[in-house]
């Protein structure tokens, strides 16, 4: 019973730790340093694409790396601590990674430090996906690049990638005897649903033809 309590506490710490790390939103932090609230400019989204529009390429590159790596760090840290606690508990390590990564994505979307108003979690999600399965990360990157290349809509590329993510997870993890697989699939479904939900305004603009394309100035009414 004591062992179960310790395990629960560790997994909860992974989720909370990931959330606190994910709440460090680079576009908001850098914007504030530069005297700009990224959530009041351009498309009003606290993410890399709006940082590119409002703050320029150098800032956008910094945002890209930070938002990507914070999920990577959260997942790898959870994995390292889990192995330290019990090198043989592979399942526990995976559960810890799932929770830490999900926490980081959740933190990016709803940062506790910034009034729970964050970005849409695409880069944070991709960081999680990279650590869990680089093959899926590469496939999603290809899909993203193709959609952006054809349409120049970053939002459409993000939505498409999000929808395909659970399908790729299922294809690469058809292992009915593996106890962690159902949780991995559940994680992918939640990550996908959250990404699509966060893009609901973009979906409306895509339907009405008012969505901004990559390279164009954001609509101030967005």
If DSSP codes are grouped into helix, strand and coil, which group holds residue 165?
helix
What is the model's pLDDT at position 219? 47
- Tokens representing residue 94 in the block: 């995976």
- Tokens representing residue 140 in the block: 């999603």
In this predicted model, what pLDDT tens digit does every residue of 16-56 receive, in sequence order? 999 999 999 999 999 999 999 999 998 888 999 899 989 99
What is the model's pLDDT at position 222? 37
Residues 6+ apart with CB under 8 A from 84: none
In this predicted model, what pLDDT tens digit does every residue of 120-137 receive, in sequence order? 999 999 999 999 999 999
> Does residue 221 carry a pLDDT above 50?
no
State the DSSP string of 97-155: HHHHHHHHHHHHHS-GGGTT-----HHHHHHHHHHH-HHHHHHHHHHHHHHHHHH--HH
In this predicted model, what pLDDT tens digit does every residue of 191-216 receive, in sequence order? 999 999 999 999 999 999 999 888 76
Give the length of the chain.
222
- What pTM value is reported for the model? 0.91
Query: Rounded to an integer, what distance in angstroms lies between the CA atom of residue 167 and that of residue 140?
Result: 11
What is the model's pLDDT at position 115? 94
What percent of the chain has a predicted confidence (pLDDT) above 90? Answer: 78
What is the model's pLDDT at position 96? 96
State the DSSP string of 167-218: HHHHHHT--TT-TTHHHHHHHHHHHHHHHHHHTHHHHHHHHHT-PPPTTSPP
- Tokens representing residue 182 in the block: 């159902």
Mean pLDDT over the full length of the chain: 91
| Mean pLDDT computed over 164-193 | 91
- Tokens representing residue 185 in the block: 């699939």
- Tokens representing residue 97 in the block: 């990674």
In this predicted model, what pLDDT tens digit does every residue of 78-116 receive, in sequence order? 999 999 988 888 899 999 999 999 999 999 999 999 999
What is the model's pLDDT at position 88? 83
């Amino acid at each position: 019973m004591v062992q179960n309590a310790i395990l629960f506490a560790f997994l909860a710490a992974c989720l909370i730790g990931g959330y606190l790390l994910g709440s460090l939103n680079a576009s908001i932090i850098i914007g504030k340093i530069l005297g700009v609230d990224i959530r009041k400019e351009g498309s009003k989204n606290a993410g890399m694409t709006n940082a590119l529009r409002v703050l320029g390429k150098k800032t956008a590159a910094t945002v890209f790396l930070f938002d990507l790596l914070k999920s990577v760090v959260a997942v790898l840290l959870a994995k390292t601590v889990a192995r330290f606690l019990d090198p043989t508990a592979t399942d526990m390590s995976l559960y810890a990674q799932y929770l830490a990564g999900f926490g980081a994505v959740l933190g990016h979307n709803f940062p506790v430090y910034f009034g729970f108003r964050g970005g849409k979690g695409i880069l944070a999600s991709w960081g999680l996906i990279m650590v869990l399965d680089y093959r899926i990360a590469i496939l999603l990157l290809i899909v993203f690049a193709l959609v952006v290349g054809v349409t120049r809509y970053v939002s459409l590329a993000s939505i498409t990638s999000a929808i395909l993510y659970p399908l790729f997870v299922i294809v690469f993890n058809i292992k009915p005897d593996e106890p962690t697989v159902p949780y991995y699939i559940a994680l992918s479904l939640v990550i996908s649903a959250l990404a699509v939900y966060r893009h609901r305004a973009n979906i409306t603009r895509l339907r009405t033809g008012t969505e901004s394309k990559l390279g164009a100035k954001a609509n101030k009414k967005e």
